Structure 1
Amino acid sequence: MGKGGEGGMDGKEVNMAAWLVSVNTLKIQPFELPPLGPHDVRVRMKAVGICGSDVHYLKTMRCAHFVVKEPMVIGHECAGVVEEVGIEVKSLVVGDRVALEPGISCWRCKYCKGGRYNLCSEMKFFATPPVHGSLANQVVHPADLCFKLPNNVSLEEGAMCEPLSVGIHACRRADIGPEKNVLIMGAGPIGLVTLLAARAFGSPRIIIVDVDEYRLSVAKSLGADDIVKVSTSMQDIDEDVIHIQKAMDAEIDVSFDCAGFSKTMSTALNATSPGGKVCLVGMGHNEMTVPLTPAAAREVDIVGIFRYKDTWPLCLEFLRSGKIDVKPLITHRFGFSQKEVEEAFEVSARGGDAIKVMFNI
């Protein structure tokens, strides 16, 4: 079989996908699509990014409480071109370039009806077991979760709407605006999109903290007002907080923990000003020990986020208008062959100078 789905025995194209079959094993194999429903579209994938959760699944066959029990197609940050539309679809036509929101909720439960569909327990989300993902030649997806790209927004930028949505949802949950100074713990991909989103929401001063100098230099180039390098040691929290508050030189109104470790969350809680807010975005530790009582005594609120809701239109508007530029985050590009898929995941897992690894299919 050729790379990326060339002809089968009957001349019909064989749809190929990257399957996670076991720990550290991905294989490009045929992927049979479901029939096209009346409200669905068939999309030819063009750009698919690698997320930290994809790497978790590859390394351990699990992410948080989601466990891969049988082979699964990987990938969920994606954009492509519409190739076929269901008979009831009015919003899209063949040839439209679209960004895909990867989660299909039930639309019947109280969370869906209340507008918080990201909390739906029946959510079918690309590459979250047992649901197949989108690192494939083609996928079938509901038309209302496929968002047409503005003419000046590329397919790669369309795929970046997924990670950017996390930053935008976090900013909404934390009520970011022109009067909120922001601290961000972690300068990985999610910390960096949270930086871009917080700036687009009007935050006047943003400080970003990490243990890695290269990541901090990227944050600075993306517009962070200041950067602070810290250690990984819990013993250094008090000293780190002094450095962070000095760098902010103002009230820290909102802190985003984009790493999710006991150290980062404790630092965020201690650094945030009385009456401020800490938003937990990262999921590094399932359980953590943090100084809740002193934070509560200063009325520091804690909010969490899970994925996002209703973010794609705003993402695309920020990209269209130039308020947000995600292009500098895409550091590595690969094609869709067995060798390149394996190499791309190795590069992503290594981290270092790899921020967003993108497949061009």
Structure 2
Amino acid sequence: MKALVYTGPEALVVTDCPDPVAGAGEVLIRVDSVGICGSDMHAFLGHDDRRPAPLILGHEAAGVIIDGPRDGERVTINPLVTCGTCKPCTTGRENLCASRQIISMPPREGAFAQLVAMPEGNLVTVPDHVTLDQASLAEPIACGWHTVRLSLDVLREEPREDLTALVIGGGPIGVGAALSLKAQGVTQVQLIEPNPIRAEYLNKRGFDVIAPDDLAESHMVDLVIDGVGYPATRATASAHTRPGGVIGHIGLGASEGGLDIRRMTLQEVTFIGTYTYTAQDFRDTCAAMFSGALGPLDWTETRHLAEGQQAFADIRGGSVPAPKIILKP
């Protein structure tokens, strides 16, 4: 098969690789659409020790099962593979499984390839009215869905239609979180995006986007979701969450700095760190997508897998208006 292989910092090449072999309980999927994630970018820049070269990256995928009783079935992929027997797995918190694996991280190769092998239980059937480009957005949106669900549970005694929310970051994680907030009943949602090209693109698609400098110092909200995770964005979250409010943290930009621990302590601001999603969150995200509750999902750009190196460079340079580039193997 052809695959886009990460060979070292800022280097990706399309080359021939062995076809994956489906293990027990697994099937082969011909990949149709696979999104570029922020974690792929971290690896591309050489900033992720968990993804050493050479490696096939990519974990936001949808495609078609080949061979077997489900041959020809269109599916989207939950890339998180867990043991199924530990306490987190048996209590519905599979994302915290100590032995979890995710495609695009050894020992599992990723989906920037023509084929990928996955356990059947990680697949969700895609209805005919949903394109596989749209279906490949399930993984990044599920990250925001999970964070919103956990954050709203803290605020469960307050009517959701009265809550205000601020999402930091207009990339796919932030956009997915904003859509998930609305789908879960929060109607007053603003999104902060510093790139004017991206902000204009999203405003035209109905998002309420502001620049960081447009955020008034006194502006307070019930819930802030940080989809970036740098010291500056955590500082913004700390400063603009009202007393008794919640910060839902998804971003993995940097490991330290930014939180105002004293203010959070004195004003009982809840901080929730979140990682990926549970299997049920993934299925719920898919159901919301398929029902139309997450909108038209029209904020993507597609390129051929062979254009992967340039796509990464364009994302890094900030010249891509769309929050998500989808590669087509």
Q: Take 2:132 and 2:286, find their aligned partners in 1: how far apart are those partners? A: 11
* Residue identity in the other structure for 1:151: D
Aligned to 2:289: 319
* Stretches of structure 1 lacking an aligned partner (at least 5 in a row): 1-14, 86-91, 232-238, 246-250
Q: Take 1:47 and 1:109, find their aligned partners in 2: how far apart are those partners? A: 32
Alignment TM-score, normalising by the size of structure 2: 0.91
Q: Take 2:317 and 2:56, find their aligned partners in 1: how far apart are those partners? A: 22
Q: CA contact under 8 A between 1:348 and 1:356: conserved in structure 2?
A: no
- Report how far residue 34 of structure 1 moved: 4.3
Superposition pairs of residues 197-216 of structure 1, within 5 angstroms: 197-216=180-199
Q: Take 1:252 and 1:319, find their aligned partners in 2: how far apart are those partners? A: 27
Superposition pairs of residues 151-230 of structure 1, within 5 angstroms: 151-175=128-152, 177-224=160-207, 226-230=208-212
Q: Take 2:108 and 2:309, find their aligned partners in 1: how far apart are those partners? A: 21
Relative to structure 1, is the Cα distance of residues 69 and 193 closer, same or farther in structure 2, using a 3 angstrom cutoff? closer
Q: Take 2:62 and 2:166, find their aligned partners in 1: how far apart are those partners? A: 31
Q: CA contact under 8 A between 1:241 and 1:270: conserved in structure 2?
A: no
- Report how far residue 349 of structure 1 moved: 2.3
- Report how far residue 134 of structure 1 moved: 0.8
Q: CA contact under 8 A between 1:20 and 1:74: conserved in structure 2?
A: yes
Alignment partner of 1:44 is 2:44: no
- Report how far residue 174 of structure 1 moved: 0.7
Match of 1:334 among 293, 300, 303: 303
Alignment partner of 1:132 is 2:109: yes
C-alpha RMSD of the superposition? 2.0
**What secondary structure, in the 3-state scheme, does the structure 2 residue paired with 1:316 have?**
helix
Indicate the percent of aligned positions where both proteins have the same amino acid. Answer: 26
Q: Take 2:240 and 2:258, find their aligned partners in 1: how far apart are those partners? A: 16
* Residue identity in the other structure for 2:262: T
Q: CA contact under 8 A between 1:241 and 1:267: conserved in structure 2?
A: no
Match of 1:270 among 201, 223, 239: 239
Q: Take 1:329 and 1:69, find their aligned partners in 2: how far apart are those partners? A: 30
Q: CA contact under 8 A between 2:4 and 2:12: conserved in structure 1?
A: yes
- Report how far residue 277 of structure 1 moved: 0.6
Superposition pairs of residues 137-148 of structure 1, within 5 angstroms: 137-148=114-125
Match of 2:313 among 331, 346, 359: 346
- Report how far residue 326 of structure 1 moved: 5.2
Alignment partner of 1:256 is 2:225: yes
Which runs of structure 1 show a deviation greater than 6 angstroms over 4 or more consecutive aligned residues?
Answer: none
RCO higher in structure (CA 8 A, sep ≥6):
2
Q: Take 2:241 and 2:202, find their aligned partners in 1: how far apart are those partners? A: 20
- Report how far residue 255 of structure 1 moved: 0.8
Q: CA contact under 8 A between 1:196 and 1:222: conserved in structure 2?
A: no
Q: Take 1:222 and 1:199, find their aligned partners in 2: how far apart are those partners? A: 15
- Count, aligned residues: 321
* Residue identity in the other structure for 1:55: M
Relative to structure 1, is the Cα distance of residues 24 and 326 closer, same or farther in structure 2, using a 3 angstrom cutoff? farther
